[in-house]
Structure 1
Amino acid sequence: MKHIFLDIDGTFLNPKNNEVPQSTLDAINQAIENGHCVYLCTGRPTSSMKRFFQYSLSGFVCAGGSYIKIGDSVLFEKTLSKDEIKHVQNVCDQNHCGYVLEGKEYNYNSKLGAIQFMEAMKSNSFGTTWDEVANELGMKWLDEFEDDEIFKVSFYSTEVDVIERMRKELGSKFNLAYTVKGPNEMIEVEIFSAGCNKADAIKRVVEHHNQSLDDAIGIGDSMNDYEMIQECNPGIAMGNACQEVKDIADYITKDVDQDGIEHAFKEFNLI
């Protein structure tokens, strides 16, 4: 039995049309029938997972490894403390970066964060207006945040130097993940608790089943998939993956809109 972990955006979900390819769903169903376990393993917090929790899968890894659900049971959960949230907010404000607090129930955007988020997501098809995007991803405004639990924080910048300075200012309690785009393009940066990445979550899942990373297959496309691709056996990059992920992958499959998941499943005899 193999444990197969699929990133969502750009891997399971085609960002060009905001739909899951039928070939992907068929491949997953066949793999499960063949006795394998298939999980969605995403940077999205639970607040942005409403449509995905409806799929009949073996489990879900959310918020970059900060939340793990196997069947009906929560295996692991780690949220940011109030002091950690305040520290991240202060660093973002000092560096003039908008941000979103990504929570269990909703995501909470600063005003600048909403503007920069729409710029960063302009190539995706979540919607063309803020209301459409907010409905799809469970967005609210920062002043509506009260007692929701926060898994991670995302912020935005066009300057890699700013991002790296913020990495130092945030300190060792946090991990940052981002992919460098073209000049002056808005970069989304994800801030996780140290010790919470997708590879750590996958280790927790396979150990729960008394198995090892040799029994885990990871498929993804972006930098929050980096550790997962590096640790799984094999680690598979989508054809549309960023170059950093392709460079460390054991195998590169086709693009998400070219039946990439089905192709990878066939290549490794999962179906």
Structure 2
Amino acid sequence: IKKAQRKGHKVFVCTGRARSQVGASIKDIGFDGYIYSAGTVVEVGKQLVHSDQLDEQMVWEIVEILEERGLGYILEGYENSYYDERAAGYFTSLHNNVDATEESITFLNELSIKPMSEFKMGVMINKLCFFAYNNEEIMAVKAIYGSKVDFMIHEYDGSTMIAAELTLPGINKASGMDVVLAYCAASLEQTIGLGDSRNDMEMIAHAHLGISMGNGIEALKEIANDVTDTLENDGVYKAFEKHGLF
């Protein structure tokens, strides 16, 4: 990252995670900015330049449905995110291999992810995620709100859990990238995107040069301009080197 920056390139993190879910191990690297929550929030430097919020009434309606169906969820905001008890185990087992015990709660709190008991009216929510163990549950919610929000569905290797990300229509990592370009007065022809998951599809297709990680999903590799090595085998470094960023 630093080698590319010294050559004048700007390097941004573009993630499905909320700002509150990105820890110091990433932020201490010194990126030029962040696209959070799958394109809904954009920071350039330390400046918040864009934020899309879900309608508050709709959020409460969806939460009520999820509660009725016994589905775990996380509401992602700029300063904090908020989880219900079912989501604590889901989220931490996916991201940190932590059991759904006190360790889970400690891990979430360290990332500014708070229990729903601390959520208050008026807090802006950028993205809503919920979790299920079968596709029928996801589709039941989508049947009600699919015309009002975009659904990004994630299935995970080695897990029966399915996650759904809900954002405003047309908001994704590619639209977040366009916000950065407009703010920095840069062109799409100057962009390189690297990704590995389903919510990277729009970004990889949109970037002038879209690169899939070697550990990326097959659908992403099929649309990418190039495929680099896996993350564990220095795939980011190899992609930067191959395409002249050093």
TM-score (norm 1): 0.81
Report what 2:31 is aligned to.
Answer: 57
Deviates more, 1:70-79 or 1:129-138: 129-138
Q: Partner amino acid for 1:58? A: D
Q: Partner amino acid for 1:38? A: V
Report what 1:229 is aligned to.
Answer: 204
Report what 1:268 is aligned to.
Answer: 243
Matched, 1:177 2:148: no
What is the percent sequence identity of the aligned residues?
Answer: 29
Question: How big is the shift at 1:110?
Answer: 1.4
CA distance in 1 between counterparts of 2:5 and 2:243 reads 14
1:110/1:135 CA distance change after superposition, 3 Å:
closer
Q: Partner amino acid for 2:237? A: E
1:182/1:220 CA distance change after superposition, 3 Å:
closer
Question: How big is the shift at 1:92?
Answer: 2.2
Matched, 1:66 2:40: yes
Matched, 1:145 2:116: no
1:26-175 to 2 correspondences below 5 Å: 28-51=1-24, 52-119=26-93, 121=94, 124-125=95-96, 127-128=98-99, 129-146=103-120, 147-175=122-150
CA distance in 2 between counterparts of 1:164 and 1:177 reads 12
Q: Partner amino acid for 1:81? A: D
Report what 1:7 is aligned to.
Answer: none
Question: How big is the shift at 1:62?
Answer: 0.9
CA distance in 2 between counterparts of 1:89 and 1:257 reads 37
CA distance in 2 between counterparts of 1:70 and 1:174 reads 26
CA distance in 2 between counterparts of 1:183 and 1:240 reads 15
CA distance in 2 between counterparts of 1:126 and 1:196 reads 29
State the SS of the aligned residue for 1:89.
helix
State the SS of the aligned residue for 1:79.
coil
Report what 1:187 is aligned to.
Answer: 162
Q: Partner amino acid for 1:43? A: G
Question: How big is the shift at 1:254?
Answer: 1.0
Decide whether the 8 Å contact of 2:56 with 2:124 is kept in 1.
Answer: no
1:230/1:94 CA distance change after superposition, 3 Å:
farther
CA distance in 2 between counterparts of 1:181 and 1:56 reads 30
Decide whether the 8 Å contact of 1:48 with 1:136 is kept in 2.
Answer: no
Question: How big is the shift at 1:163?
Answer: 1.9
1:144/1:182 CA distance change after superposition, 3 Å:
same
Report what 1:196 is aligned to.
Answer: 171
State the SS of the aligned residue for 2:58.
helix
Q: Which runs of 5+ in 1 are unaligned?
A: 1-27
Question: How big is the shift at 1:94?
Answer: 4.3
Structure with the larger RCO, 1 or 2 (CA within 8 Å, 6+ apart): 1
1:225/1:130 CA distance change after superposition, 3 Å:
same
Decide whether the 8 Å contact of 2:88 with 2:108 is kept in 1.
Answer: no
Question: How big is the shift at 1:184?
Answer: 6.3
1:139/1:207 CA distance change after superposition, 3 Å:
closer
State the SS of the aligned residue for 1:74.
strand
Decide whether the 8 Å contact of 2:88 with 2:105 is kept in 1.
Answer: no
CA distance in 2 between counterparts of 1:222 and 1:91 reads 28
CA distance in 2 between counterparts of 1:83 and 1:238 reads 39
